[in-house]
């Protein structure tokens, strides 16, 4: 789990279909804690798209609001959300991202993922090789540099 120094954002759709953005305070493979400027209700379903800071991808989550956090007047809503479903590719990306973040690095180094994400063995050097490996591993189309 990565803690409050996460500095990553979330776009969330509540059970009423209202969209909001906010911050992810912590996240694990099972739960996440968010602060968003929208109405949330305990036990209700929601959908979220969470950016993975340092990578050009985000993860899509179907969840349920487990409980609301106490908030002071003027603060945005806070909640802990249980992750009910996530596409396999997104779950794989989240696991790798969490592993990288808990390994003690000060920033995410996408170059360290090239082999894992694209099944390339041996570390290739150079910016274009890293970009190509990330595009391949993340299933992104090739773009002109």
The predicted pLDDT at position 76 comes to: 84
Q: Is the pLDDT of residue 143 over 70?
A: no
The stretch 104-115 carries a mean pLDDT of 50
The predicted pLDDT at position 128 comes to: 64
Where are the chain's structural domains? 8-86, 92-137
Yes or no: is domain 8-86 CATH 3.30.420.40? no
**Residues 24, 7: Cα–Cα separation, whole Å:** 7
* pTM of structure: 0.67
Q: Is the pLDDT of residue 122 over 90?
A: no
Could you report the per-residue pLDDT of 35-86, keeping only the tens digit for each?
998 889 999 999 999 998 888 889 999 999 999 998 888 778 899 999 999 9
């Amino acid at each position: 789990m990565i803690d409050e120094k996460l500095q990553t954002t979330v776009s969330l759709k509540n059970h009423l279909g209202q969209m909001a953005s906010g911050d992810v305070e912590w996240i694990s493979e099972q739960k996440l804690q968010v602060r968003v400027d929208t109405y949330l209700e305990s036990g209700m379903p929601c959908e979220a798209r969470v950016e993975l800071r340092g990578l050009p991808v985000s993860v899509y989550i179907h969840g349920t609001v487990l409980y609301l956090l106490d908030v002071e007047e003027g603060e945005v809503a806070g909640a802990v959300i249980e992750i009910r479903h996530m596409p396999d590719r997104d779950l794989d990306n989240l696991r790798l991202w969490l592993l990288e973040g808990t390994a003690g690095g000060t920033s995410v180094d996408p170059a360290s993922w090239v082999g894992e994400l694209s099944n390339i063995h041996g570390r290739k050097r150079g910016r274009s090789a890293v970009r190509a490996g990330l595009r391949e591993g993340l299933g992104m189309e090739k773009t002109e540099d």
